[in-house]
Amino acid sequence: MVIGVLALQGDVREHLRALAECDALARPVRRPEELESVDALVIPGGESTTMSKLAVEFGLLEPVRKRIAGGMPAYGSCAGMIMLATNVLDGRPDQRGFDGIEMTVRRNAFGRQVDSFESPVEITGVEGGPFHAVFIRAPWVESVGAEVEVLGRVAGGDAAGRIVAVRQGNLLATSFHPELTGDLRLHRYFVDLARAAS
Amino acid sequence: MSETTEQPTTAPVTGTGRVKRGMAEMLKGGVIMDVVTPEQAKIAEDAGAVAVMALERVPADIRAQGGVSRMSDPDMIEGIIDAVSIPVMAKARIGHFVEAQILQALGVDYVDESEVLTPADYANHIDKWAFTVPFVCGATNLGEALRRITEGAAMIRSKGEAGTGDVSNATTHMRRIRSEIRRLTSMAEDELYVAAKELQAPYELVKEVAESGKLPVVLFTAGGIATPADAAMMMQLGAEGVFVGSGIFKAGNPAQRAAAIVKATTFHDDPEMLAKVSRGLGEAMVGINVDDIPVPHRLAERGW
């Protein structure tokens, strides 16, 4: 099984490294033909408007969308969560995504960079205590569809209770960046999910 | 990135090293564009920029007009913040910690302590640890980069020579930083003490670079990038992303050139794609050879 990391822009290397540390075969995906050779896809953190634009320009938008509709496992962190959402608030009018998880996501919901923060988040289905979550100009999930399982919420502060981790079938998304902390539990969770699906 | 063990509390913590450095990680593989008006900021965002740098005059105009160059008018920065949804950076003078405080209060996402503006302090840079907002700083060599990181910079850009459209200094600085890093990785452990002395940088940081083979923060390039090929070359030389200043809005067709530089940065290692995106861009900025600029007017010499 091979896991691709969408490598149009963002912290691609950190996801590749985290996947490798989970003993998964991981490689970057920038072209439609590279997408064909992977069994699952990680959409990294980065700037969602840039990723959206490049995905359209380089002919990846429709192929990824089709693969995801066809059941390919995918995991998105931060900008990746935005790319996986069916509905985005505070985005650009021409922003396109992969329409994977039935949810409404608000972009830059916590504020600007000075509001970026770290905070523990309990994740349903991930053992070993709360996840030390890093939120960077992060989105949150405003509402989810019936099929979506909420896995985690912000524990404290002004945004307490906001949804920041979700799963719908083979699709996983977090507002925060596990790839930045060295805590591999969410990547392992995704690798297991992808293995089970392949 | 260094790992710290923290006691879990439920209260969110802002301004940590991890969120500052992490912000720069999210910009990787992207292009950050200098803009002087909200309209230009929109063009940059439309073209796929990962962030914009708000400033009053692009470096080419600063160079042409002379005089003291300072932080931009807060109204103008706010106008740009309101115009786009991508991150907005802004420049403070070297050592001018009050300009940085103002930029933080305005809500800019990154402060560039920049040699493009006239330095406010010829001895000290800003103590960047004292801020919640992260800082990017320029460097011409590894020692300079590590000194800035010691002062709290969360991102480094090679300086190049801003406002010239001449990429040669960007090349020199990127090659120098990268080759000095490679040299450290090949050293015996007991040689690193002297290396730290020579680099005028803390031993712990030098050791970290020697072990990891990279800076502990993201390394972008800047200064003189004017074409998609320039951007791609800097990426192939090891830059993790690109700042483009005068190169876009001093060119014939800014929107098209901006979009082409974004694509070239993503596909920096694919010559066929680069050939495709380099077509039909109209005139590049006229530019000026760095050699023709008298030494006292070279911006890269500012900062130490």
Which pLDDT value is given to residue A154? 96
**B170-195 residue pLDDT tens:** 999 999 999 999 999 999 999 999 99
What mean pLDDT comes out for the span B19-47?
97
> Would you call B267 an interface residue with chain A, using a CB distance cutoff of 8 Å?
yes
Q: Is A78 a catalytic residue?
A: yes
| pLDDT greater at residue A85 or residue B282 | A85
> Does residue A54 surpass a pLDDT of 80?
yes
Which pLDDT value is given to residue B2? 46
Rounded to whole angstroms, the Cα distance separating A127 from A121 reads 12
Cα–chain center distance at B68:
21
Each as own residue / partner, the long-range contacts of residues B192-195 (CB below 8 Å, 24 or more positions apart, any chain) are none
Q: Is A132 a catalytic residue?
A: no
Assembly ipTM: 0.96
> Does residue B151 surpass a pLDDT of 60?
yes
> Which band of pLDDT confidence, cut at 50, 70 and 90, is reported for residue B1?
very low
> Which band of pLDDT confidence, cut at 50, 70 and 90, is reported for residue B9?
low
b/e per residue, B219-255, with b = 16+ CB within 10 A? bbbbbbbbbbbbbbbbbebbbbbbbbbbbbbbbeebe
What mean pLDDT comes out for the span B74-84?
97
Count the neighbouring beta carbons within 10 Å of the beta carbon of residue A116. 28
Domain of A156, CATH number, reads: 3.40.50.880
Which pLDDT value is given to residue B91? 97
Interface of B with A in 41-80 (CB under 8 A): 45, 48-51
Rounded to whole angstroms, the Cα distance separating B230 from A178 reads 34
What mean pLDDT comes out for the span A174-182?
97
> Would you call A113 an interface residue with chain B, using a CB distance cutoff of 8 Å?
yes
Q: Cβ of B26 and A11 within 8 Å?
A: yes
> Which band of pLDDT confidence, cut at 50, 70 and 90, is reported for residue A17?
very high
Q: What pTM, to 2 d.p., does this model score?
A: 0.95
Residues 6+ apart with CB under 8 A from B37: B76, B79, B80
Rounded to whole angstroms, the Cα distance separating A113 from A54 reads 24
What mean pLDDT comes out for the span B258-263?
97
> Which band of pLDDT confidence, cut at 50, 70 and 90, is reported for residue B143?
very high
Q: Cβ of A154 and B51 within 8 Å?
A: no
Q: Where are the domains of chain B?
A: 17-297
Instruction: Check the CA dihedral A174-A178-A180-A181 and report its sign.
Output: positive
Residues 6+ apart with CB under 8 A from A138: A78, A108, A109, A110, A116, A164, A175, A176
Shortest distance between the Cα of B77 and any Cα of chain A, in A, equals 14
What tokens appear for A40 in the block? 């699952």
Domain extent, residue A147, equals 2-197
Probe site for chain A from B26, B103, B109, B215 (most A CB atoms < 10 A): B26
> Would you call B264 an interface residue with chain A, using a CB distance cutoff of 8 Å?
no
Task: Report the candidate in A26, A9, A8, A10 with the shortest Cα–Cα distance to residue A187.
Answer: A26
> Which band of pLDDT confidence, cut at 50, 70 and 90, is reported for residue A169?
very high
What mean pLDDT comes out for the span A124-145?
96
> Does residue B222 surpass a pLDDT of 50?
yes
Probe site for chain B from A114, A115, A158, A180 (most B CB atoms < 10 A): A114
Q: How many domains in chain A? A: 1
Looking at the domain B17-297, which fold is it? TIM Barrel (3.20.20)
Annotated binding site of B: 34, 163, 175, 224, 245-246
Report whether A12 contacts B265 (CB < 8 A).
no
> Does residue B207 surpass a pLDDT of 80?
yes
Rounded to whole angstroms, the Cα distance separating A60 from A167 reads 23
Report whether A4 contacts A29 (CB < 8 A).
yes
For all residues of chain A together, what is the average pLDDT? 97
Task: Report the candidate in B245, B239, B250 with the shortest Cα–Cα distance to residue B285.
Answer: B250
Task: Report the candidate in A92, A135, A95 with the shortest Cα–Cα distance to residue A117.
Answer: A135
| pLDDT greater at residue B58 or residue A26 | A26
Rounded to whole angstroms, the Cα distance separating B140 from B177 reads 7
